């Protein structure tokens, strides 16, 4: 597993924009002075994963997710590329079949009476803005918002823990390989003889 993780880390490192590319883009130029937002460190990786999962699940709007995760990384000093990548956890399949139904279920546990089928019916019948506004003020919207928020919090905490744990495993593996190389190197064998 450590070699697969190492290859993934290597590939991600190759995909990282250079400092010059960040400075050349007018949208990312203000972030160019904050290099820690683009480095893979033991602190920035879990923070970036957590920020991306939180915004990716809670926002559910593709453009907002990417911008929101990048902006969330600035104050928490998280890795922006990882945060942006983690927003893709909420894709059309997972949103329709996992995230929204689970959000409604969670919201209903708190006393709301939401039905996910209402959204599809309103979309099929091309509901007016007034009908959507009425829906927002009903029990469905608060149930979904509460469910999304709780899912986002749990996912970001779990993501932070998993990313930190994988980082530690990676460092421990590097340390073991370094010790094994130094123990089997010819210089140490000649000293022992």
State pLDDT tens for residues 86-142. 999 999 899 888 998 899 899 999 988 887 777 778 878 888 888 888 877 787 888
Average pLDDT over every residue of 12-40: 75
Report helix, strand or coil for 174. Answer: helix
Residue 16 pLDDT class (50, 70, 90 cuts): low
Query: With pLDDT > 70 as the criterion, what percentage of the chain qualifies?
Result: 90
Asked if pLDDT for residue 154 goes beyond 90, the answer is: yes
Long-range contacts of 14-18 (CB under 8 A, 24+ apart): 15/81, 16/81
Q: Report yes or no on whether pTM surpasses 0.75.
A: yes
Q: Give the largest Cα separation in the chain, rounded.
A: 87
Give the count of alpha carbons within 13 A of 190, CB side only: 3
Q: Can you tell me the distance from the alpha carbon of 183 to that of 177, in angstroms, rounded to the nearest whole number?
A: 10
Q: Can you tell me the distance from the alpha carbon of 8 to that of 18, in angstroms, rounded to the nearest whole number?
A: 18
Higher pLDDT, 189 or 91: 91
Give the count of alpha carbons within 13 A of 176, CB side only: 7
Q: Residue 81: which of 18, 6, 26, 20 has the closest Cα?
A: 18
Q: Can you tell me the distance from the alpha carbon of 63 to that of 79, in angstroms, rounded to the nearest whole number?
A: 18
- Across 53-67, 98-112, 147-161, the highest mean pLDDT is recorded for 147-161
Higher pLDDT, 52 or 193: 52
């Amino acid at each position: 597993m450590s070699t697969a993780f190492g290859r993934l880390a290597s590939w991600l490192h190759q995909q990282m924009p250079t400092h010059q590319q960040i400075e050349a883009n007018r949208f990312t130029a203000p972030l160019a002075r904050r290099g820690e937002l683009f480095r893979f460190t033991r602190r920035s990786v879990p923070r970036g994963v957590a920020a991306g999962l939180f915004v990716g699940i809670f926002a559910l709007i593709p453009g907002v997710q990417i911008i929101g995760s990048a902006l969330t990384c600035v104050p928490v000093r998280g890795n922006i590329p990882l945060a942006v990548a983690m927003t893709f956890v909420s894709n059309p399949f997972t949103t329709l079949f996992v995230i929204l139904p689970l959000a409604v279920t969670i919201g209903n546990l708190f006393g709301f009476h939401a039905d996910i089928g209402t959204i599809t019916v309103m979309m099929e019948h091309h509901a007016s803005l007034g009908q959507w506004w009425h829906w927002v003020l009903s029990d469905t919207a608060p149930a979904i918002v509460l469910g999304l928020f709780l899912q986002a919090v749990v996912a970001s905490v779990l993501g932070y823990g998993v990313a930190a744990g994988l980082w530690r495993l990676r460092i421990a593996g590097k340390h073991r390989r370094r010790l094994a190389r130094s123990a089997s190197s010819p210089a140490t064998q000649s000293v022992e003889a």
